[in-house]
A and B are shown apart, each in its own frame.
Chain A
Amino acid sequence: MYKMIEAKINGITVEVKEGTTVMEAAKKVQIKIPTLCKHPDLPPSAACGLCIVKVKGSNKMFRACCTPIEDKMEITTNDPDIVEVRKTVLELILSNHPNDCLKCGRNSNCELQSMASDFGIREDVFKKFLRDIPQDSTTGTIVLDPTKCILCGRCIEVCQKGQDVWALSFLQRGMDTRISPAGDIKLSESPCVKCGQCSAHCPTGAIFEKDDTRLVWEALKNADKYCVIQIAPAVRVAIGEAFGVVGKNLTKKLYALFRRMGFKAVFDTNFGADVTIMEEAGEFVERLLHNKGELPLITSCCPAWVDFMEKFHSDMINHFSTCKSPHEIVGTLSKTYYAEKNGIDPAKIYMVSIMPCTAKKYEITRSGEMFASGFQDIDVTITTRELSRMIKQAGIDFLNLPDEEADGLLGEYSGAGVIFGATGGVMEAALRTAYNIVTGKELEDVNFIKTRGLESIKEAEIDIKGTKIRIAVAHGLSHVEEVLNRVRQAKKEGKELPYHFIEVMACPGGCVGGGGQPYNVTDALRLKRSSAIYQDDKDKELRCSHKNPYVKKLYKDFLGKPLGEKSHKLCHTEYKARPIYIR
């Protein structure tokens, strides 16, 4: 039982559990205390100093983010003194922040900028002390600009504790403190897996996605190019946030949008997800029933996870599904299958993929297999955040567009295809089809509720025709090691394997919480995004990949059979151990 505490904030009585911080308690009574370092996802770091409050009986000011509220405490969160101090703190932060707003990747989306606006900052009160540290865009996915860093520590917390990657840390101290990979090397030589969680949590423009929108506009302008596009499952339920709509599935408006932007064909990554499942579920059953490869099978759709595995857990390579990720499959098929069916020169096809993810920018040139069509299968990847800017540049009243459909050949999807965007979704989709392969029958209830939700490691046991299948689903890379260690331990001791099938997504919540998604994500928002995804699944008449008629057509007309020679060439890849630090 928690002890309850009663305190007063600005004269309003609040009752909270013991251990609740002043900031959390204030939120309960509709009081917002400003902060630039505290993020709802992360523990307080007490770095920025904006959240100071007064406590009756003390002449000190306390930081609300890290001060636990005490019984009978009387707190003032707002008076002219406090406003004055906060304003000074802000002016000090701004004294080593460049006035670059107009050219900054976070213009109009920056927490520091809004705070400066809220507090009516109109001049540089203190002498500017700007740091001269070059930008780092070496990963081709995110850009690190330490000159804009306010040292809040969010990126370091997510990189080290949340994702267990430890690419970034604070170097030096005092005025020289900065965020950097160890040894001032470039991010591309560091352990960075490009998940982009740092960019999604940064309050300013110190870390942001590399902007590739210019490439898309140029391709659309080029009359020689046949521009085609695909969207990932998680994009459709988050893009609305840039236009004030939360948790709404905007798939059909996106299709209409892309045609208005000038794309000749509109595809859907969800179709690729259905193909991934045909291959991956097939692979699982082969390993389960025919001993062809090691168990547990581990999913490989997430490029940040693949990079993490290749760097930190390369002993698990044999457990990895060799199946390519859905957007790569749509990319390859657009330049082979689609080109062939429509008599288009594949050299002219320009494939754009819209992803919730920064690591997808890395994936498109990750290895030779990403050129399986004979060309670079995906020409450019842009994130949800970049797409929202493109929509605004195009001057299209996006929310009021009429609904349209995708181009069937690579655009129709089953319910299984769309749930790829949420943690547990790949597992659930694979189980629906694996059941069919093993039993030859259809599931009566396709919902695997135990794989859903935001619990960091989800486990379940599923009965397929008398065979008990144990599964684990992990999201947020820091939860992966625990799962893998259980497997390692069992292998070492020669015991029965704890799992047959493991799904990993690098970002918390899966792709809905991806590093390229709109800002200000919290668990509540992740759940809103994923419930829109599960609703789409529920509304679909066909909810299993193997029932998608266009998938059947693809195998009949082009690929042959799952795991066949042609699909192996086009839809599979390989992995290799990579060094954590490149030197």
Chain B
Amino acid sequence: MNNTCTCAPELKEKEKQDGIKELKEFIKEHKLLHDKQGALMTVLHKVQEIFGYIPREAMDVVSESLGVPTAHIYGMATFYNFFSLKPKAKYQISVCKGTACYVAGGARLLERVEEELKIKLGDVTPDGLFGLSITRCLGCCGLSPVIQVNEEVFVRLVPEKIPAILEKFRKQEKKTK
């Protein structure tokens, strides 16, 4: 994951407003159930659920309604892997860099995905379709090297097979539209 970039694409205005409304209601309900610290964790989980990431606007709402400084929220949001400061992609590609996959050429798979999608590790394609991350061992080393796209695992790969996999999801996306 690229840790320095914080420039998340703007949410669509309507989505954002609906999300903020939902968030405010959630905070109202949960504020009194916990102490400040406890409430913050629960609320951030909710933000991640509503928006798919932690947008700055949502942080401001959380800061104001819980009385927690933004710097603290930001520290937490960047500390835990579960939270993301950028929108997650519709199809998250995880390239395995566990020992077995690494030895079997996992790094070359990663390079090829980067090349095909013209994005770097940790980024999301501008259309929001694909995101790229690495993972450490999916427990199927006998089938290495592997990549995972959302829940689906692709095994014994060579870089040449990457374009077809990406195409499969592009087609799937077209169908659903």
Are the chains A and B members of one assembly? yes
B69 within 8 A of A: yes
* Choice from A167, A172, A173, A176 contacting B71 with Cβ under 8 Å: A167
Query: Given A172-B78, A183-B56, A160–B71 Cβ distance below 8 Å?
Result: yes
How many chain A residues touch B (Cβ–Cβ < 8 Å)? 17
Minimum distance in angstroms from A223 CB to a CB of chain B: 48
A138-177 interface with B by 8 A CB criterion: 160, 166-173, 176
Does the CB pair B71–A166 fall under 8 Å?
A: yes
Minimum distance in angstroms from A139 CB to a CB of chain B: 16
Q: Mark B62-88, 1 if CB is under 8 A from A, else 0.
A: 000000011111110011000000000
> Can you give 11 A-B contacts (C-beta < 8 A)?
A160-B69, A160-B72, A166-B69, A166-B70, A166-B71, A170-B79, A171-B75, A173-B78, A182-B59, A182-B70, A182-B73
- What are the 10 A-B residue pairs with the smallest beta carbon separation, nearest first? A182-B74, A166-B69, A169-B71, A169-B75, A182-B71, A166-B71, A171-B78, A182-B70, A172-B78, A173-B79
Minimum distance in angstroms from B47 CB to a CB of chain A: 15
A331 within 8 A of B: no
Q: Which B residues are CB-close (under 8 A) to A581?
A: 70
A184→B71 CA distance, assembly (Å)? 10
Q: Which B residues are CB-close (under 8 A) to A182?
A: 59, 70-71, 73-75
Minimum distance in angstroms from B48 CB to a CB of chain A: 17
Does the CB pair B4–A184 fall under 8 Å?
A: yes
Q: Which A residues are CB-close (under 8 A) to B71?
A: 160, 166-169, 181-182, 190-191
Question: Which of B56, B71, B74, B78 counts the most chain A CB atoms within 10 A?
Answer: B71
A183→B72 CA distance, assembly (Å)? 11
Does the CB pair A170–B56 fall under 8 Å?
A: no
B17 within 8 A of A: no
Q: Mark B113-126, 1 if CB is under 8 A from A, else 0.
A: 00000000000000
Chain B's interface size range is 10 to 19
A581→B60 CA distance, assembly (Å)? 10
Q: Mark A211-252, 1 if CB is under 8 A from B, else 0.
A: 000000000000000000000000000000000000000000
Instruction: Tell me the dominant secondary structure on chain B's binding face.
Output: helix
Q: Which A residues are CB-close (under 8 A) to B72?
A: 160, 166, 169
Does the CB pair B70–A171 fall under 8 Å?
A: no
Interfacial residues, chain A to chain B (CB-CB below 8 A) = 160, 166-173, 176, 181-184, 190-191, 581
Minimum distance in angstroms from B83 CB to a CB of chain A: 11
Question: Which of B73, B75, B79 counts the most chain A CB atoms within 10 A?
Answer: B75
Minimum distance in angstroms from B65 CB to a CB of chain A: 15
A251→B70 CA distance, assembly (Å)? 44
Q: Which A residues are CB-close (under 8 A) to B78?
A: 171-173
Minimum distance in angstroms from B92 CB to a CB of chain A: 20
Minimum distance in angstroms from A133 CB to a CB of chain B: 8
Q: Which A residues are CB-close (under 8 A) to B75?
A: 169-171, 182
B99 within 8 A of A: no
A581→B64 CA distance, assembly (Å)? 13
B176 within 8 A of A: no
Q: Which A residues are CB-close (under 8 A) to B73?
A: 182
B150 within 8 A of A: no
Minimum distance in angstroms from B124 CB to a CB of chain A: 18
A359→B8 CA distance, assembly (Å)? 33
Which A residue's beta carbon lies closest to that of B70?
A182
A160→B70 CA distance, assembly (Å)? 11
B135 within 8 A of A: no
Minimum distance in angstroms from B85 CB to a CB of chain A: 9
B3 within 8 A of A: yes
B42 within 8 A of A: no
Minimum distance in angstroms from B10 CB to a CB of chain A: 13
Q: Mark B85-109, 1 if CB is under 8 A from A, else 0.
A: 0000000000000000000000000
Known: A183-B74, A184-B4. 7 other contacts (CB 8 A): A160-B69, A169-B74, A171-B74, A172-B3, A183-B6, A190-B71, A191-B69
A428→B70 CA distance, assembly (Å)? 37
A184→B74 CA distance, assembly (Å)? 10
Q: Which B residues are CB-close (under 8 A) to A190?
A: 71
Which B residue's beta carbon lies closest to that of A184?
B6
A172→B84 CA distance, assembly (Å)? 11
Q: Which A residues are CB-close (under 8 A) to B59?
A: 182
A184→B8 CA distance, assembly (Å)? 13
Q: Which A residues are CB-close (under 8 A) to B3?
A: 172, 176
Q: Which A residues are CB-close (under 8 A) to B6?
A: 183-184
A167→B12 CA distance, assembly (Å)? 30
A581→B78 CA distance, assembly (Å)? 19
B1-42 interface with A by 8 A CB criterion: 3-4, 6
A160→B3 CA distance, assembly (Å)? 23
Which A residue's beta carbon lies closest to that of B73?
A182
Which B residue's beta carbon lies closest to that of A171?
B78
A330→B74 CA distance, assembly (Å)? 42
